[in-house]
Amino acid sequence: MTRLSTLAPEPTAEPSVPAGANHAAAAEGQTPAVLPEMVQTAFDYMPATLAGIVAGVGMISVLFWSQTTPAVMLPWMAAFAALWLMRLLMLQRFRRAQARPPEIGRAHV
């Protein structure tokens, strides 16, 4: 039997980054360099997420429609539909914001 302490990596001499370092930088108004890329990636995968939500709600609805009353299923489906629409609107607004050319300010003379 092996001990857990033998499986753990040995500590290195290099200092580690504190767990909340990125949160502290964001709180000070400094955006971590990775954040824009993470946001872009999340919105790139949003269509697949929306399709997955529709598939999941459809599957659960088919499986449980005969097991529950419409008074339970319809509000549940309405909640998912509201969430789905909010995510779709958020995706559309994000894409519209990305397609907009940068605003040109007044020349400082």
pTM beyond 0.85, yes or no: no
pLDDT in tens, 28-73: 665 677 888 898 999 999 999 999 999 999 999 999 999 999 999 9
Q: Rounded to an integer, what is the distance from CA 89 to the centroid of its chain?
A: 14
Q: Which long-range contacts (CB under 8 A, 24 or more apart) does 11-17 make?
A: none
Instruction: With cut-offs at 50, 70 and 90, classify the pLDDT of residue 93.
Output: very high
57: Cβ–Cβ under 8 A, 6 or more apart, which residues? 77, 80, 81, 84
Domain boundaries, the chain: 34-97
Residue 15 confidence (pLDDT) above 90: no
